[in-house]
Amino acid sequence: MRTLITTACLALGLSKGAFSQQEAMRPNWCGSVEAMEKHFLNHPELKQRFDAYQAQANSQQNQPQQRTAAATYTIPVVFHVLHQYGVENISDAQINDQIAIFNRDFNRQNADTNVVITPFKNLIGDVHFAFQLAKKDPNGNCTSGINRYYDANTASWTGQASDYLYTWDSQKYLNIYVVRSIASGAAGYAYYPGSLSPSDDMDAILILSNYVGSIGTSSVGKSRALTHEVGHWFNLQHVWGNTNNPGVACGNDQVSDTPITKGFTSCPSQAASDDCNPGIYENYQNYMDYSYCSVMFTPGQATRMTNAINNGIVGRNNLSSPSNLSFTGITPVANCAPKADFSSNKQVVCVNQTVNYSDISNISAPTSWSWTFPGGTPSTSSVQNPTVSYSAPGTYSVMLTASNANGSTSETKVNYITVVSTPQTASLQEGFETGAIPNATWSVRNLASFSSNWQQTSAASASGSKSAKVDQNIEAGTSVELYSPTYNFAAMPGVALTMKWAGAERDTSTHASSDVFSVLFSTNCGATWSTRLNRNVKTGNVGVSALKTGGNFVPTPSQFYQDNVPLAGLTTEPNVMFKFRFTAEYGMSNNFYLDDINLTSLTGIAEIPLVSNIQLFPNPASNLVTIEFDLVDDKNISVELKDVLGRLVKTGESSYLQAGHHQISIPLGDVAKGIYFISVNSNAQVLTKKLVIE
């Protein structure tokens, strides 16, 4: 049996080839067992109750199912997406795809049951569970069944009781929390029925955002992680038993038609699947295994889940009751107005480029649409998915009103579209002295729903009396962006881009900030971007213009740091645009200032190399030397130690590094005393520094 470790509580593909090794490498699989054991340490009375329920469930296992063969249990579902405006804020489409996967897997409608091995061909269970997003919230208001919350817990979920702020009554809804990262390293977990008190806020499923559905940030190979977790929520154990240790010992999951097994962490051949009882093949294709080729439940598992959903002691029996389906707006379907929402294929375009808008209104389907496009052609539209162009540079808002027989709602996205000018050939000298931001030359965009953005300020400047500023305390993980005009470098030979900025780390007792200032470029009107400069606004890093400053940072002119942006490879491009981006890493940012942006000829200005500011410490050194340098673009970098004759003595880290500040260390304990040279090598440049070893 191969020992490739699968992801997630599990990550299961539609076919054996659907799961990559990269997806398979996680330190933990499913965190359900560990989460319950941790909870039982604090609540031993619940452990006794849980054990009693499990004994009852095991005794019921061989009894007839408590429904007719045609009965279907409808389960109202609500997703709580915790995010910091990053990729973890997954789309409605990705969540709807997950609902479709639930309804496929729990009703034996998946086409890949054709790969089930012969001993289990007649043991593919049909659970008869139907999953629907809730249409009414606990207060009786219309809902899409998808809630989004700005919450820092998404970055490292610990699973404390206080983390479950948003749970709706678990006796009425199946709650699923979506987060970016789980501190334990698992991809998800769920609490078995009976392990918590009824209506406990913790009685919810947790899952990583890139394990939801098969589209968007997820993939087919990870699309059945939630199928596994829902199995736990309805009282299924792992097929080897109630542990998180597959492949260790033969075990029993209390289901008669799943053979004794150790469990698998990869997909074996049928011949290799009889470790526990030779000649009796094991159900490695079961959703509750850690195999990546799992495609089935068994009838016995269907019985166990049916018993769980009918059990009043653990509160699951109310989910599919007629009164609860009415309460949650499932049956009859709630009469709701649509909640207007929209997206577009582009948000940064050049003059006269088209933008395709898409209606993504939810809760209820609209039957009519009313769009408003200030500065656009057309300026209004009544079609569902219009196409619009803009004839003048600037930053524009968009509004949609979506309606049906039950009412209408409106959504306005301020500064949603950024339109940049046709390429210019004149030099740029921008000190932000005249005109507010945004204006006809400079456009802005924030990547969240808050109002803070780049703005003109007279509080500080490198020269003159004004500069561009980002206010302190923008929300963690979010960015604000400032866009330059576009330039035809082919008609501007020998140009260099310089600027001055001022930033400071905010002094707090809890956490050091790690804000980032970046300069990016695009040669295709913002369709794609590449980083050309990254600066960490953090004490000790190259370019920091001030030490920690509690409160409101207002720099003096001498605290502005002058930076040069390398233009290698761009000097003949006919359409170059720059984006100046400030990102608040931890929500403890201080004020940031940008001034004196100059795009001029190279007269008197030396363009900085892609690798710069190399430093060695200590020097002289004895046991270890650390090489510190700035990388202003993403590059393959290698570090070498050579003697005075140019012979290679040692090689340090060799890898693809992102733009920014880096430190690489080389042990020197086995190197003789003398004079050596450290070189930092990119594919186009070598920087060398002398090192003394004593």
Q: What whole-number distance in Å separates Cα of residue 661 and Cα of residue 284?
A: 47
Which residue's entry shows tokens 């002691």?
Answer: 313
Which residue's entry shows tokens 């016995």?
Answer: 300
Q: What whole-number distance in Å separates Cα of residue 95 and Cα of residue 110?
A: 18
DSSP-derived secondary structure for 114-135: GGS-GGGTT------EEEEE-S
Q: What whole-number distance in Å separates Cα of residue 12 and Cα of residue 295?
A: 8
Q: How far apart are the first and last CA of the chain?
A: 52
Q: What whole-number distance in Å separates Cα of residue 123 and Cα of residue 115?
A: 13
The DSSP letter of residue 476 is: T
**Which of 23, 229, 585, 640 is flagged as catalytic?**
229
Q: How far is CA 102 from CA 72, 98, 246, 328, 650, in A?
A: 14, 6, 25, 19, 54
The DSSP letter of residue 238 is: B
DSSP-derived secondary structure for 350-375: ETT-EEEEEE--BSS--SEEEEE-TT
Phi, psi of 117, deg, nearest 5: -70, 155
Contacts of 569 (CB under 8 A, 6+ apart): none
Backbone angle region of 24, left / alpha / beta, with phi > 0 → left and psi within -120 to 50 → alpha: alpha
Q: What whole-number distance in Å separates Cα of residue 245 and Cα of residue 263?
A: 8
Q: Residue 639 has which token pair?
A: 């570090």
Q: What whole-number distance in Å separates Cα of residue 558 and Cα of residue 556?
A: 5
On whether the CB atoms of residues 282 and 261 are closer than 8 A, the answer is: yes
Instruction: Verify whether residue 229 is a known catalytic residue.
Output: yes
Q: Name residue 62's amino acid.
A: N
Contacts of 562 (CB under 8 A, 6+ apart): 498, 499, 500, 596
Strand order in the sheet with 387-390: 342-344, 354-359, 387-390, 376-377
Q: Name residue 325's amino acid.
A: L
Q: Residue 102 has which token pair?
A: 């639930």
Burial grade of 316 (CB within 10 A; 0-12, 13-18, 19 or more): buried
User: What is the H or E stretch that residue 502 is in?
Assistant: strand 495-502
Q: What whole-number distance in Å separates Cα of residue 98 and Cα of residue 81?
A: 14
Instruction: Give the 3-state secondary structure of residue 148.
Output: strand
Strand-pair partners of 358:
343
Q: Name residue 42's amino acid.
A: N
Contacts of 599 (CB under 8 A, 6+ apart): 427, 428, 487, 492, 495, 496, 497
Q: Which residues are catalytic?
A: 229
